[in-house]
Amino acid sequence: MGDAFPVTIYHNPGCGTSRNALEMIRASGYAPTVVDYLEAGWDRATLTHLLSAMGARPREVMRTKGTPAEALGLLADDVTDEAILEAMLTHPVLVNRPIVETPLGVRLCRPSEAVFALLERRPDRFVKEDGEAV
């Protein structure tokens, strides 16, 4: 099927939710483009495109757990979208994961089974790393 239905996952291999979403995509018969954004980093055009496609503000996809968000002062209500976006470009870990893009849309797939809404087909059964069947 290949490029007829492209799937891109912005992935953190250290994150169980991200790993589960990736395996759900593969179990559905897709060979996704996997972007390890912690290694690759973000560029403004890509991140702005993904946020726009999700209809989300930077704050809505900012990861606070296990990141420098608090130390950088990003949790205050008066922090601008631009300041958060700039911080995400400098510290890629601030972007929550996984973000998946397909012809059906873009979304932050938390919980991981949210990825199924972006795929044309899905497996009959899938079991997450923790044993939960979805």
**Tokens standing for 10?**
């912005």
Is residue 15 annotated as part of the catalytic site, yes or no? yes
Place of tokens 């390890």: 36
Residue 105 dihedral angles phi and psi, to the nearest 5°: 140, -175
| From 7, 9, 10, 15, the catalytic residue | 15
35: Cα separation from own chain's centroid:
10
- CA pair distance 17, 85, nearest whole angstrom: 23
**Tokens standing for 6?**
């492209």
Answer whether 95's CB lies under 8 Å from 1's CB.
Answer: no
Catalytic residues: 15
